[in-house]
Structure 1
Amino acid sequence: MRLPTYENTLKTYTLIGDPLVPQVPSVPFTRTAFAAAHVVSDPLAERAPWVGRPAVDWENTLKFRHTLWDQGLGLAEAMDTAQRGMGVDWLTAKELIERTMIEAKAHPLKPRVACGAGTDQYDISALTSEDMLIRAYSEQMEAIEAAGGQVIIMASRAMVAAGTGPDFYARVYGRLIEQAKEPIILHWLGDMFDAHLKGYWGADDLDAAADSVLDIITAHEDKIDGIKISLLEQSREEALRARLPESVRLYTGDDFNYAALIEGDGTRFSHALLGIFAAIAPAASQALTALAKGDSATFHALLGPTVPLSREIFKAPTQFYKAGIAFLAWLNGAQSHFIMPAGFQASREIAHYAEVFRLADQARLLSQPDLAVYRMKQLLSLHGIE
């Protein structure tokens, strides 16, 4: 195939092939692993995609979740990977959670599903007080609990807009954590994913922010399952991980350094709540199986080639990473298209999609090479490349 390059040229590429075959894990994982999944829109039903609610393609969206569960992975539902605040509103997210939980309860592996609770049913301008923020979060938490999901208290832009410092966060989060029925997962999303979240936990300085969230965790340790951190800094995550109470998990959201963080340093290790796991599910599942068997060499052999792919999918502007994940789902036949809410598939250029294709092949993640080639050629033709 002739594929575009970042040098504005076309270069012949020959597939390596040898794809990994998706499979059910042969042993239980020793790490909790959530894959954060995306949403696709119904191309026939979508109208004015930049305005109003998306017309979700429920069949394709839910079909993809089954491919993750079939490989032993848990699911992080209705998070930023599902375009919360970037094309998917709360009413759509609520329906997504409810539909997903019905499917999860019927799945033979009984997968874990954790769901994002935020404040996006209200305009930020209306959320100016602690009570309003707590009300907004509580409404979503109650909907998740009613559906049977575990609650992830998502980082909210409204908290940054209304908050004045660490004490503000401590009061709001304290009330939310204590009213939850089951232990919750906290969520720290860096501003590389969403610029509106700069200064979360009441501090621009990340060391001070870490102190702030640790104070919240230690005050409510028995009601906190863990904290998911997406700062893309391995050393910072390791430092925070070392300070957590023994009962609280660190869920890595570092889509650049996940292999080393999940393996750990011999004393501590991270669990996973990762968007990239949705894109690399066969490698992730089989690597975690190897790690559970004590086979560190195979663990790294499987995950190592996925790191260049992840760095490409999550390249700056990082918030557009969802398009690459949906693209790979389409290439691999897990979905029949990759039309996304708000036309999000247009957020990345053809050279990016070509590079994702190359790197996925080299990571053994084009599960049906002939189909992947056929669909890549379709996309190239749409861009005038024959």
Structure 2
Amino acid sequence: MHTEPDWIATPLTADLLRGALDLERTEHGLLPHRLPAGARAQNTDEQLAMAESQPSGVRLAFRSAATAVELDILRTKRDYTGFPSRPDGLYDLLVDGHPAGQTPANGGNVLTIDMTTWNGTMTEGPVGTVRFTGLPAREKDVEIWLPHNETTELVALRTDAPVAPARDRGRRVWLHHGSSISHGTDAASPTGVWPAVAASLGGVELINLGLGGSAMLDPFTARAMRDTPADLISVKMGINIVNQDAMRLRAFGPALHGFLDTIREGHPDTPLLVVSPIHCAIHEDTPGPTAPDLSAIGEGRLLFAAMGDPAEVPTGKLTLRTVREEMARIVRQRAADDPNLHYLDGLDLYGESDAAALPLPDRVHPDAATHRHIGERFAERVFTGDGAFARSTRPAG
């Protein structure tokens, strides 16, 4: 005979969450943010506002003997006019660091975006519930990774045994900033996003500032990174600046210097890795902007095209090839006085030969298999051997 557990309600507080830089109290509950309030106050871009509120890398982390867990949430899902509804975001359950379950949520809001105008329409929905049962009846570390691609307000947490904050396992904290590729576009689930894959293999605690469409060398993001405690830091830059045609070469170099200068104000000796873009055929030698391929939209397919003119590259228009060259040059220059600064060519993570085997489905974003491929490559090159993050203990100071 099935009986309901004797539920214990636990208030949702900051000590039960990892991977968020700020928590906002809403009328429904608690909204994790990946940028602090000061940075959000300086932002006027709706894309960034949406991206930073999507909890890529954010997870509930607690210790409990509970065999059943319920989490009430209010999600905001994103769909696009003229396309099939996107798959529901998934919640990944880890027990003592190992996968132990996965489920979508029900209910919630839907934001429908018209890709020809980028206007959105919100349809409101009810609070939903995520439930996991059959957990081992012993004290254990439990993590619930929130969907990387759905804004998620946390409403209530219930378990059938008391909950305590997760223990500090002594792992180094890795703070990473990047574009939608780091955010997790087209990854299968929150633990399948490539930085999450790399963090698991590297045995580190992830703070993921992958911000879809918004790796733009924004000073407020650099200040957020400056002020966030971290043992390891990486910055994966370039694709958004190219595909939004945001800068010319003259502006890009000083902006990158300034971004790194700001991070170094708070982390003068922390290992800092600068990563250039992965291979993206449409922008290797053709500048931005990037736009949806209208002919493909008419067929119900989402593909992107490069709209720039290669003839303008000599006048300073940016391509991925020129961005990589400039990033490598700047890191070489700075590394002469900064031995903890490192460079990784994004083509070492996903190059032209990888693209032949694992093509980008929409010409810009990796699919689930490619996220895992990039995460494994990053872990191999950065967390092992003589990689930038290979040390197994926290740096002093």
RCO comparison, higher one (Cα < 8 Å, 6+): 1
TM-score range, shorter chain: 0.3 to 0.5
Per the normalisation by structure 1, the TM-score is 0.34
Higher helix content, 1 or 2:
1
Higher strand content, 1 or 2:
2
